[in-house]
Structure formats: C-alpha cells, structure tokens
C-alpha cells in the first residue's frame, strides 16, 4: 500500500525504534515576564497544549480539524483545559477575538513570529503568526498549482518548535501545559524538543509522514544524534511522524481496530516496526462527533429538522436533495458520497460498481474533490445516467449537512480508514452507513448480518474484502433491505440512537492524561 500524497514515506522497510532519553534542544526565544521554573503541580484543571495543522471551525480540510475542534469542550467537564495551537494561515488573525501576544521569536525559521492567544467560537486558540511561513495564497499544504509547498517541512517544523518552547517554558500569562498533545506529522518534532514534558502523539492517518531529505537536518534544527534508525531517520530521510512516534511519552490513534492494523505491514506504511516496539504505550481511542454541530433535530443548515421520533423532516430533506442534484423525484435508495475522491477512499471501486447500483433502482449524489481521473469518472457517470447520478466537484460544508439529512445510505468503501467521521454523521442523521470492514469503520458500524438483524442491533452494512465485487454485493443487500420498510425503519432508529458523541472517548483521553501526569 502506498501513501496517498507527497510527504508520506514509502513503505520500503520495517524499522524498530525506542525512545531516546536525551534532553531536548532549547528554543531561541522565551516568553517575557514568566517564572523560570515549571511548577510541579497546578491547582484546578489540568492543562493541555493541543498542537495541530488545522482546527474547526477556524480552518478545515478534513476530519482532523473536526476532532481537534471538538476535544476542548469534550474534555472540559473532565477537568482538562485545552489550548489549541495552529498556524495563522492567511486571514485567520482577523477572526481571533481579544488577541493577546504571549510568545515571540525574532527568527523562527527565517523570519519573526509570535503566538497570539484569543477565542474563536468558544475555543481557546493560540495562533502562530509567522507570515513568512503561513500568510500565502493556496491551500494549507499545497500551492495554487496543486503541488505541495516546497518548504512544508520547514513550515511545520516551526509549528513544532513553537509548541516545544511553550511546553518547556510556558506563555507570558503564566500558563504552562501539563501535557503536550501532538496531532499528525505536522506536530511530530515537538516531542523530540520537549522531552521533559509528558506528550502524546496521535496518528490520524499514518499515510502522511512528513518526509524531508537528510540534508535538511540543520535547516530543521534537528539534533544530529537523532538521525539514526532509533531516532527520526527513515530509510535515509527525515520523518517528522516517526520523530513523534519515537520520542512521545504515549501514542494514540483514532480507533482500536486501526491501532491493531498499524502493527502490520499492510497498514503500517513502513512504520509498523516502530509502533510494535512501542506497543505498551499505544492506545486506540475512537473519535466522536460534535453533536452540537451534527444533530438533525437542531441543525440550522438543513431544510427541515427531524428526530428518530418524527422523521417527516427527513422526507422533506430527501426531496430537496434530489431537486438540488437534479435527480428524479422518484427512485430507490438515495446513496450519498461526501469524501475526498481518492483510491484510498475506495471511490474507484464504487465507479466499477455503479451499473449494479443503478440497475437496482438506486440514485447517487456525490460531493467531493480529489484525483482528476476519479473526478472525471463521476462526471461522466452523471452524464451517462442523468436523473440517477448527480455530482458536485468541490467541498461545501453546508451542502454536506443537507446530504446527510436527505440521503438514505452513505457510502464509505475505504481501503483503509483510521477512524472516519462520515459514517458517524450518517448514523446521527439516520443515513445508514455502508462501509468497508476496516479501521474505525469496523468499530463504529454494526453490520446487518443475520445475527444482528435477528437481535435487532444492526446500524448499517459492512463488506469485505475491499473489492468492487464485494461492494457490489453490499449494494445489492442494501437495496434489498431498503425495500423491507419495517426492517429499514428499525435500523434507522437504532442508528440514530447509537452513541457517536465524545463522552466515552473523552473519558479515555482524560484517563490517558491522568496516567501521564499522575493526577
């Protein structure tokens, strides 16, 4: 299995590594006006510095942002206060309420930088304002031509550097984190530079590893003694994700099944040896959904609200969705896809299975952007089957809500899926998930097999192996169950009652923080 994008390491060999115990490097800049010593314990809530490349609702390209944005509210009742550090991409500073400068560095990888604290939608945000690195056109990770920014390793090393400095020395207002929580490769170097602070490295998708050439060791300010198989070296290159996996106090990922899968060559993308060597500190904690945002009973973005007790609104939403996508007013089950259009997501398999979906009376609405040949494939399918398939290339958050409200079945045929939030949105909206049996998809959807249907516990459908033929059989089964309205209605009610919020997962994270800090 190959990585999905530039910046991911090729799985060319297995590597085993153990965390080093050497002290981290010192930051060049210290916040002004704070105590020199980090307190051994702090009264009141525990303090977490959460570090990521994106955070909803401020900036989002995928599910990572939703998770990072939801964690603070989920953990607050459990005694943990989170501040979230992300880059100040173009336009973000203007959205920060009550901004206050709490950290600065006159030369952060080629230019001045500061950390501005403030609020956004109730979140305590820390924005790394480094215009030379982040104030530019294009997307977060790619330029206007669609290529990765050539300085991505340096940009996100700067994010890690600032995070490590805050973890070690705190902020100018006296705030010192008890735990450093790093998300994905963009924060991967922070545990290396702040080894005296307990840290967690959370893998949201191991396919993206933050690879840089060996010659960048000095440019990235990395210690030379870490460039070896027991450190951050990966097959003669630098891996930011591997640095996090090696030097963090604990490793988590976003579902129990994915945690187990990461120890295998099929899913480990060349880092399975590292993960196996640290199995004693590995946790799989299933993601949750922010039910304040994703709730059909209160969602302001859908045409008609509804609940499991009164589904009339869903019927109205289905009619509106068919109209919006130019689909026939009458038809069988309305399948939806809200996804990046990539092979990792199995969307090439769905293209192969479309004749069977159409033959069984199904309709399909697609929202997404991704690999050009898949985009073209879905546009051709829409032209070939007008009134049966509608496609919107791009991403529209409000439209995604309308699709979950109006659809009958959401398709997630991923070849691998660390957790996935799409199927959870489907459960919450009574749009039954049809998913591949992998990662968090397997953990969150109860398959409509004979036993589950008999015991009245099924909430969706799973298929394996992840092939077009197996997907085609699952589509056939979905159409058959949809025609049995009594069975379908019971499955829908169970799906909507299935817990998809953050309660259980937040308790697991809080327990992990407690263990690391001895609280």
Residue matched to tokens 């190959």: 2
For 204-223, the DSSP string reads: S-TT---EEEGGGTTTTT--
Residues with Cβ within 8 Å of residue 96, at least 6 apart in sequence: 116, 118, 119, 120, 125, 127
C-alpha distances (whole Å) from 4 to each of 143, 245, 346, 459, 493 are 17, 20, 12, 30, 36
For residue 30, what pLDDT is reported?
Answer: 38
- 46's tokens: 């525990």
The span from the CA of 469 to the CA of 102, in Å, is 56
Handedness of CA 259, 261, 267, 271 (dihedral sign): positive
The span from the CA of 67 to the CA of 72, in Å, is 9
- 474's tokens: 């699952």
Q: What is the SS3 assignment for 240?
A: helix
Q: What is the SS3 assignment for 228?
A: coil
Task: Please list the ranges in the chain whose pLDDT falls under 70.
Answer: 1-43
What 215-218 contacts at long range (C-beta under 8 Å, 24+ apart), as own/partner pairs, is 216/153, 216/154
The span from the CA of 466 to the CA of 436, in Å, is 6
Is the backbone peptide bond immediately before 155 cis, with ω within 30 degrees of 0?
Answer: no
For residue 34, what pLDDT is reported?
Answer: 34
For 265-308, the DSSP string reads: TTTSTT-HHHHHHTGGGEEE------TTTS-TTT-TTSSS--BT
H/E run at residue 489: helix 485-497
The candidate with the shortest Cα–Cα distance to 126, out of 155, 88, 160, 154, is: 88
For residue 44, what pLDDT is reported?
Answer: 78
Residue matched to tokens 């496609």: 391
Q: What is the SS3 assignment for 203?
A: strand
Residues with Cβ within 8 Å of residue 120, at least 6 apart in sequence: 57, 58, 95, 96, 97
Burial of 263 (0-12, 13-18, 19+ CB in 10 A): middle
- What angle separates helix 468-483 from helix 347-359, to the nearest 10 degrees? 40
Per the CB < 8 A criterion, the answer to whether 464 and 491 are in contact is no
Look up the pTM and report it. Answer: 0.87
Q: Where are the beta strands (DSSP E) in 370-497?
A: 389-393, 409-412, 432-436, 461-463
What 450-453 contacts at long range (C-beta under 8 Å, 24+ apart), as own/partner pairs, is 453/487
Q: Where are the beta strands (DSSP E) in 130-281?
A: 179-183, 199-203, 211-213, 233-234, 237-239, 250-253
> Span 312-497: which CATH code?
3.40.50.2000
Domains 47-288+503-517 and 312-497 share a fold: yes
Per the CB < 8 A criterion, the answer to whether 383 and 391 are in contact is no
Helix/strand/coil (H, E, C) string of 352-371? HHHHHHHHCCCEEEEEECEC
- Would you state the torsion angle of the CA atoms of residues 71, 424, 385, 318, taken in this order, to the nearest 10 degrees? -100
> Span 47-288+503-517: which CATH code?
3.40.50.2000
The span from the CA of 416 to the CA of 441, in Å, is 9
**Spans of all domains in the chain:** 47-288+503-517, 312-497
């Amino acid at each position: 299995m190959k990585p999905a994008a530039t910046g991911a390491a090729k799985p060319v060999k297995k590597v085993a590594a153990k965390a080093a115990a050497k002290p981290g490097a010192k930051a060049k800049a210290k916040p002004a006006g704070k105590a020199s010593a980090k307190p051994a314990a702090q009264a009141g809530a525990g303090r977490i510095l959460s570090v990521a490349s994106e955070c909803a609702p401020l900036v989002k390209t995928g599910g990572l942002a939703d998770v990072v944005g939801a964690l603070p509210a989920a953990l607050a009742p459990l005694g943990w206060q989170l501040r979230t550090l992300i880059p100040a991409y173009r336009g973000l500073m203007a959205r920060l309420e009550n901004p206050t400068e709490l950290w600065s560095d006159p030369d952060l990888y080629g230019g001045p930088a500061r950390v501005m604290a403030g609020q956004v939608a109730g979140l305590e945000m820390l924005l790394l304002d480094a215009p030379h690195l982040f104030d530019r056109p294009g997307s977060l990770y790619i330029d206007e031509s669609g290529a990765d920014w050539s300085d991505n390793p340096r940009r996100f090393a700067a994010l890690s550097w600032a995070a490590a400095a805050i973890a070690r020395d705190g902020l100018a207002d006296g705030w010192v984190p008890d735990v450093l929580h790093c998300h994905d490769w963009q924060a991967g170097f922070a545990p290396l530079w702040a080894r005296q602070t307990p840290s967690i490295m959370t893998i949201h998708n191991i396919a993206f590893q933050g690879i840089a050439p060996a010659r960048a060791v000095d440019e990235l300010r990395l210690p030379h003694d870490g460039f070896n198989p027991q450190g951050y070296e990966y097959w003669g290159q630098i891996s930011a994700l591997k640095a996090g996996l090696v030097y963090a106090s604990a490793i988590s990922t976003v579902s129990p099944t994915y945690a187990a899968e990461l120890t295998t060559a099929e899913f480990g993308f060349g880092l399975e040896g590292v993960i196996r060597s640290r199995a004693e500190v590995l946790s799989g904690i299933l993601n949750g959904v922010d039910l304040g945002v994703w709730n059909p009973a209160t969602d302001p973005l859908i045409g008609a609200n509804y609940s499991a007790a009164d589904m009339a609104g869903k019927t109205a939403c289905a009619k509106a969705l068919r109209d919006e996508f130019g689909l026939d007013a009458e038809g069988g089950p309305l399948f939806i896809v809200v996804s990046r259009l990539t092979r990792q997501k199995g969307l090439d398999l769905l293209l192969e299975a479309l004749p069977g979906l159409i033959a069984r009376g199904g309709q399909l609405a697609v929202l997404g952007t991704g690999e050009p040949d898949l985009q073209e494939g879905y546009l051709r399918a829409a032209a070939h089957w007008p009134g049966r398939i509608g496609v919107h290339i791009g991403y529209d958050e409000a439209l995604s809500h309308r699709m979950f409200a109006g659809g009958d079945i959401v398709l997630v045929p991923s070849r691998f899926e660390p957790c996935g939030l799409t199927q959870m949105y489907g459960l919450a909206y009574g749009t039954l998930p049809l998913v591949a049996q992998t990662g968090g998809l397997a953990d969150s959807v109860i398959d409509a097999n004979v036993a589950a249907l008999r015991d009245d516990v099924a909430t969706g459908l799973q298929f394996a192996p992840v092939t077009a033929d197996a997907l085609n059989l699952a589509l056939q089964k979905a159409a058959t169950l949809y025609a049995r309205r009594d069975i379908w209605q019971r499955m829908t009610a169970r799906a909507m009652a299935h817990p998809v919020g953050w309660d259980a997962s937040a308790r697991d994270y809080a327990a992990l923080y407690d263990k690391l800090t001895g609280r």
